[in-house]
């Protein structure tokens, strides 16, 4: 069996709040990664169609604000509805290139009525099939003004030989039990996605790598004042309130011993390519395996509810 996996980390800016144009950019970077023989490409949190930076810049907590109602309606319009095949072209790119994809999307799911947003992490396998959609368990701070709490349905891992891969959104990676749920399913390649900023990845990722004895990918976005489009509602106000870079990247890779394979990359759009050697995982599991020989399931165990949340449960007589 092959011992290595070539991965690609796509640190890019969205064509902000334009689903179609951002998706085309994502496909372009996917094609580029495939040309370099990558078998997995990862994109940042909420990249499609973009992170709600206006919440921080335009007083998002103002209740019943006409400004924020209009922006939110625009955000919903550009969000991703998987049931309506908004990811069809990306799935085709995955199948054509035989490359797996992790992507952060703003999901507008029909199983929750189709008018609320979920920060979701989608896994598309090399055959072009959507294999899991993980809705972020708890939006962070001002994100709760725009995003809804998710559920445990997407807390799953996938076989991507020679690894078992899983992932979490942004600050979920700080949640010990969420991480433990992934480790218990054999995860040895952990994917963490972020909207951006080195401060989020540089301290945490080596800790997760040492705790899990796994490779940890951190993939972030880029967002600069010039990324605010003129067709964004109240673009003038947003541009006036944004004089600095809001997301500077910080994408990186930590090895199973906690050392850097790729140190955080900042302030540039970049496709990071790296080879991961599964032998390194096996070496580090020799003295510590969090769900194997160093676990005590007779003393400590974890319950995970993987039911997809819904307000409607049909009963058949």
- Per-residue pLDDT tens digits for 13-72: 999 999 999 999 999 999 999 999 999 999 999 999 999 999 999 999 999 999 999 999
- Domain locations in the chain as residue ranges: 4-284
pLDDT > 70 in the chain, percent? 99
Within 13 A of 117's CA, how many CA atoms are on the CB side?
25
Task: Of 40-54, 166-180, 302-316, give the lowest mean pLDDT range.
Answer: 302-316
Distance of alpha carbon 26 from alpha carbon 124, whole angstroms: 13
170 is catalytic: yes
Sequence-distant (≥ 6) Cβ neighbours of residue 66 within 8 angstroms: none
Catalytic choice (25, 39, 136, 198):
136
- CA–CA separation, 290 and 213 (whole Å): 8
Q: Return d(Cα 157, Cα 304) in angstroms, integer.
A: 14
Q: What is the pLDDT of residue 2?
A: 82
Average pLDDT over residues 229-254: 95
pLDDT score at 314: 80
The one catalytic residue among 25, 45, 198, 252: 45
pLDDT at position 315, please?
A: 78
- d(CA 76, CA 79) in angstroms, rounded, equals 5
SS3 (DSSP) at 88: helix
176: pLDDT strictly greater than 60: yes
CATH superfamily of 4-284: Carbon-nitrogen hydrolase (3.60.110.10)
Q: Is the pTM of this model over 0.85?
A: yes
81 flagged as catalytic? no
Mind listing the pLDDT tens digit for each residue in 139-162? Answer: 999 999 999 999 999 999 999 999
Q: Is the pLDDT of residue 1 over 70?
A: no
pLDDT of residue 313: 82
What residues have CB less than 8 Å from 164, skipping those under 6 apart? 157, 158, 185, 186, 187, 188, 189
| pLDDT exceeds cutoff 70 at 317 | no
Of 119, 170, 198, 280, catalytic = 170
Integer-rounded Cα radius of gyration of the chain: 19
- Cis peptide preceding 49, ω within 30 of 0: yes
270-281 pLDDT tens trace: 999 999 999 999
**Active-site residue 91, yes or no?**
no
What is the four-CA torsion angle of 164, 169, 173, 179, rounded to 10 degrees? -40
């Amino acid at each position: 069996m092959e011992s290595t996996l070539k991965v690609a980390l796509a640190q890019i800016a969205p064509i902000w709040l334009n689903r179609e144009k951002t998706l085309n950019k994502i496909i372009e970077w996917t094609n580029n990664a495939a040309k370099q023989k990558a078998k997995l490409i990862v994109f940042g949190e909420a990249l499609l169609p973009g992170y709600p930076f206006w919440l921080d810049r335009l007083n998002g907590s103002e209740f019943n604000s006409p400004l924020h109602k209009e922006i939110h309606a625009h955000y919903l319009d550009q969000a991703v509805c998987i049931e309506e095949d908004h990811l069809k072209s990306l799935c085709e790119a995955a199948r054509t290139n035989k490359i797996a994809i992790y992507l952060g999307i703003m999901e507008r799911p029909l199983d929750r009525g189709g008018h609320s947003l979920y920060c979701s992490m989608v896994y598309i396998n090399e055959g072009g099939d959507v294999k899991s959609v993980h809705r972020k368990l708890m939006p962070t701070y001002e994100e709760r003004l725009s995003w809804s709490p998710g559920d445990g349905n997407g807390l799953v891992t996938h076989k991507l030989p020679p690894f078992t891969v899983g992932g979490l959104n942004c600050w979920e990676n700080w949640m010990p039990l969420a991480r433990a749920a992934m480790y218990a399913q054999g995860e040895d390649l952990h994917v963490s996605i972020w909207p951006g900023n080195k401060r989020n990845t540089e301290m945490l990722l080596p800790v997760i790598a040492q705790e899990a004895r796994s490779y940890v990918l951190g993939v972030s976005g880029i967002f600069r004042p010039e990324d605010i489009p003129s067709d964004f509602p109240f673009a003038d106000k947003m541009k006036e309130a944004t004089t600095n870079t809001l997301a500077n990247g910080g994408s990186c890779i930590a090895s199973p011993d906690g050392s850097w394979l790729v140190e955080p990359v900042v302030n540039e759009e970049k496709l990071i390519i790296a080879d991961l050697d599964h032998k390194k995982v096996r070496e580090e599991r020799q003295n510590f395996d969090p769900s194997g020989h160093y676990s005590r399931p007779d003393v400590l165990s974890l319950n995970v509810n993987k039911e997809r949340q819904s307000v409607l449960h049909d009963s058949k007589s």
